[in-house]
Amino acid sequence: MARRIPRDESLARVHGPGALFSAAYGNVGSSIYYALGVTAAFALGLTPVAFVVAGLIFVATAATYSEATVMFPEAGGSSSFARHAFNETASFIAGWGQLLNYTITVAISAFFVPHYLAVFWEPLGSSPGDIIAGALLIVALAALNVKGTEESTRLNLVLAVGDLLTQLLLVLIGFLLVFSPDVLVSNVQFGVAPTWSDFVLGIAVGMIAYTGIETISNMAEETKDAAKNIPKGSGYTVLAVVGLYALLPVIALSAMPVTKQGGEYVTELGTKYADDPVLGIVDNLGASAALTDGLRIYVGILAAVILIIATNAALIGVSRLTFSMGHYRQLPERLRRVHPRFRTPYVSILIFSGAAIITLIPGQAELLATLYSFGAMLSFTIAHVSLIRLRQKYPNKAREWKPRFVDIKIKGVAIPMTAVLGGLGTFSAWLVVIALNPRTLVIGLGWMVVGFAIFVFYRRSQGLSLTRTEEMQMPESLGVEDVEYESVMLVLEDKPGFPRKTVETAISLASRRRRGIHVLAFVTVPKHLPIDDTLDDTLAAEIEAAQSKVEQAKLIGGSKVSGQVQPIRPDEAGQTAIREALKVKATALVVELRYRGGRPLIGPDLQKILAQRPCRVVVVGDPEAEREAPAAALRHDLEVV
């Protein structure tokens, strides 16, 4: 019997500013464990200034994301903003740049995990131990995500708060034991240590410490009172992150000052401790041996756990973003294919995990950092430009939140200076990264060119415009009864054409909590052929056509749909459907009603299903023909929609 489940439950908006802050800080806060050392390698004694400048750009970026997300509270971040402001091509470019961010986040977070665990086993702190361990971590997390393991929100909150308190503790101890204004001043020789080009690059690289604001945007659809809580969550994140990222470098450079070695100015923060900068702070605080050892173990464990969570979050981000891009038909169907058993987009998870491992293999943190900046700065710039365009495109649209006292009137349009200055900052950082790092330019542009080629080829092959939004058509409510079924089996018969209405009906009936829709596509095998014959050309073509129907159903229903092609003998469809429905414990069986001469036809297979009725039977027919449905349908307690 069907179990009635209120549909509003699955759409509940439950996240407040605290949940948004913990999620965003969990992503942004993990960056300090690698961003500090990489940035110091370039900015040297001006590292605190580089983080402050990057922080100001981050403040402007957070304002842009808050306003645009409140306007369009949906997942996607800059990709969503660009879609509403411009067109589908701009949206794809932003989305593909985000995919680069996620891929590099997986690689760089996994790369630094073994360096912090080296407090227990030293070989993990150097090549090839760090590369092997990082690659194995990615493989393990990819396998877990294919299986469908979810994050624990409560655990992430606890770890985020613990991380924040730990960094505050290190700052406090540092101010008591090693802080020295004189050392900080002597660390800097303007134009020499660092050179101006290295300082500017340090700002660009330092921006990796602030990326993660996309997290709040992606949670918008589940946020209660978005106009109030999204800006609050972003504001809390800005205050915590910008404050800590200004103070930690001050302590670090007081403990590890800039020195001249072999004619070059360096700091151990960017050399010896480049791969574990927070452990470098612990080692150089001047505390007692017992306290130092205890802090090393504590920081090593905490950093490793948070970086593992960041790696896993990036893999989840990859799967969600590719699925979203597939929903708007930006990526081929195969890339977002759902696993038949685990119902996860396993193809995208495996492909982008493999890409992360490839970028990890060289073991070069600086390359990973600059590649991250390439993708992040591109996405941020598109977000800023999109907001300016949205102000022009929808000047009279109600804006429940926007930054105050920053608008300037240009031709009657209120343009936010946060978006203008933020866009100039992120675009400048992007230019610096590609100008000073030829490898980053080649790899980054190669990534974008390959992605755009896939986009163009796929859209053209489907006969779609490159600019017009083409959203997957989701099924509408049946309007018959407000009921959902915990497990639905859909039978697709062996006949030409794709029964879209039947598929959409099955998806409409499926419980959004249980996500159980199993598609069974039949292929009739003549009695003179073996049931598993794949050599017969005609049969192979029919199997391929049936598999195509299953994949189309997955495209419409998303991750809730699984399916298989079932070879059967003539007149076995009804009994096979009954057997499979019992096997998967279906609570509803959806089949298509055939017609002959414009009149509904209840054939032997459907009669068999109705006679045994393993569960509720829903037969989908043409609405115009419902008036002519035979009385037999009612006698069998048949529901025709």
- What does the radius of gyration of the chain's CA atoms come to, in whole angstroms? 28
Task: List the domain range (segments joined by +) for residue 318.
Answer: 15-388+422-458
Question: Does residue 42 lie in a domain region?
Answer: yes
CB atoms under 10 Å from CB of 453, counted, come to: 10
Tell me if 6 is assigned to some domain: no
What does the alpha-carbon distance between residue 381 and residue 373 come to, in Å, rounded to a whole number?
12
Supply angle C-alpha 630, 634, 638, rounded to 5. Answer: 105
Instruction: Please check the confidence at residue 9 and state whether its pLDDT lies above 50.
Output: no
Q: Is 296 helix (H, G, I), strand (E, B) or coil?
A: helix
**Residues 371 and 492 placed together within one structural domain of the fold:** no
Res 268: pLDDT: 92
Q: Are 438 and 523 found together in one domain? A: no
Give residue-wise pLDDT tens across range 267-287.
999 888 888 899 999 999 888
Q: Is the pLDDT higher at 638 or at 65?
A: 65
* Residue 533, helix vs strand vs coil: coil
Higher pLDDT, 149 or 328: 328
Query: How many residues in the chain?
Result: 641
Query: Quick one: 454 and 560 in the same domain?
Result: no
Asked whether residue 417 is domain-assigned, the answer is: no
Q: Are 395 and 222 in contact (CB under 8 A)?
A: no
CATH number at residue 503: 3.40.50.620
Q: Write the CATH number for 238.
A: 1.20.1740.10
Q: What is the pLDDT of residues 410-450, one digit of tens each?
A: 888 889 999 999 999 999 989 988 988 899 999 999 999 99
Is 476 within the bounds of a domain?
Answer: no
User: Tokens representing 628?
Assistant: 């002519």
Assess whether 433 and 528 both reside in one domain: no
Question: 208 and 278 share a domain?
Answer: yes
Cross-strand bridge partners of residue 618:
590, 639
Which pLDDT score is estimated for 148?
62
The amino acid at residue 565 is V
Same domain, 349 and 497: no
* Per-residue pLDDT, 390: 94
Tell me, yes or no, whether 542 and 442 share the same domain: no
pLDDT bucket at 504, cuts 50 / 70 / 90? confident
Q: What percent of the chain has pLDDT over 70?
A: 83
Question: How buried is residue 127: exposed, middle or buried, by Cβ count under 10 Å (0-12/13-18/19+)?
Answer: exposed
- Residue-wise pLDDT tens digits, 455-502: 999 999 888 899 998 776 544 444 444 456 778 888 988 777 778 878
DSSP per-residue letters across 297-326: HHHHHHHHHHHHHHHHHHHHHHHHHHHHHH
My answer on whether 28 and 177 are in the same domain is yes
Asked whether residue 440 falls in the same domain as residue 561, the answer is: no
Structure tokens at 587: 């609570």
Pair of tokens at residue 302: 């905490």
In terms of Cβ atoms closer than 10 Å to its own Cβ (0-12, 13-18, 19+), residue 634 is exposed
pLDDT digits (tens, 9 = 90+) for 182-228: 999 999 988 888 999 899 888 888 887 776 677 676 665 556 666 77
Number of domains in the chain: 2
DSSP code per residue over 229-293 = HHHHHHHHHHHHHHHHHHHHHHHHHHHS--EEETTEEE-TTTTTTTTSHHHHHHHTS---HHHHH
From 410, 443, 458, give the residue that closes a domain.
458
φ/ψ of 454, rounded to 5, equals: -60, -45
Structure tokens at 320: 């969600």
Find the mean pLDDT for residues 356-362. 91
Please indicate, yes or no, whether residues 146 and 77 belong to a single structural domain of this protein. yes
More confident residue, 10 or 539: 539
Tell whether the model's pLDDT for residue 174 goes beyond 70.
yes
Query: Are residues 494 and 443 part of one domain?
Result: no
289 part of a folded domain? yes
Residue 640 has pLDDT above 80, yes or no: no
Residue 167 pLDDT greater than 90, yes or no: no
Q: Assess whether 516 and 620 both reside in one domain.
A: yes
Tell which wins on pLDDT, 351 or 553.
351
